[in-house]
Structure 1
Amino acid sequence: MSLPPISPGDARVVLYGREGCHLCDEARAVVARVCAELGERFVEVDVDEDDEAATAARIDPDEIPVTFVDGRQHDFWRVDAERLRSALTA
């Protein structure tokens, strides 16, 4: 499953989540830390606020948080820092 290509000025990592989700909070912290270490940007999409984006990405609301790297689904529920770092440096 993949999103449309990311333009050069856009973030390589997209985190789909929602407010009040403890797993989303944990994922956000991991993504923020790894992206900061590597000088990468990330954007966050609230699946409750942007239903159109979540639908286009085929996000299952029961699997959030979901991360995409370079337009491809990378993880759901939990984000592994080493795996994310490897994906961003490959």
Structure 2
Amino acid sequence: MTETPDWAGKARVVMLGRQGCHLCEDAWSVITGVTDELGVDRAEESLDAVSAADREEYWDKIPVTFVDGRRHDFWRVSEGRLRSALSG
């Protein structure tokens, strides 16, 4: 997939995940901490709610984090890397 999905621009940081995914819970915890500290908006999008093409693209990479509408990380979220992306 070459185009950024529309839902990836819902907030400054968007995480694509799925309920019951322990990696998603861990990633959301990091995202919440960093975005709260920096005063940045965030949103969570369910893999089950996106298009079939997006599910095909991202199902094996969740959680997938987008910053400013662009894919940033997948599987795990690095607090330092996220903070750097939001501060730069």
TMscore range, shorter length: 0.7 to 0.9
Measured against aligned partners, the alpha-carbon deviations of 1:28-85 in whole angstroms (never above 9, x if no partner) come to 000000000000011000101x1228728x7420110000001110000000001000
Which deviates more, 59-68 or 30-39? 59-68
Q: TM-score, normalised by structure 1?
A: 0.83
Is residue 66 of structure 2 the alignment partner of residue 68 of structure 1? Answer: yes
Supply the distance in 1 between the matched residues of 2:36 and 2:57 (Cα, whole angstroms). 25
- Residues 79 and 53 (structure 1), Cα distance of their counterparts in 2 relative to 1, 3 Å cut: farther
Q: How many residues align?
A: 85
- Residues 85 and 76 (structure 1), Cα distance of their counterparts in 2 relative to 1, 3 Å cut: same
Q: Would you identify which runs of 4 or more consecutive aligned residues in structure 1 move more than 4 Å? A: none
Q: Name the structure 1 match of 2:27.
A: 27
Supply the distance in 1 between the matched residues of 2:20 and 2:65 (Cα, whole angstroms). 17
Structure 1: where are the runs of 5+ without partners? none
Q: Name the structure 1 match of 2:51.
A: 52
Q: Is the 8 A contact 1:34 1:84 kept in 2?
A: yes
- Residues 47 and 66 (structure 1), Cα distance of their counterparts in 2 relative to 1, 3 Å cut: same
Q: TM-score, normalised by structure 2?
A: 0.85
Structure 2: where are the runs of 5+ without partners? none
Q: Name the structure 1 match of 2:36.
A: 36
Which residue type is aligned with residue 76 of structure 1? Answer: F
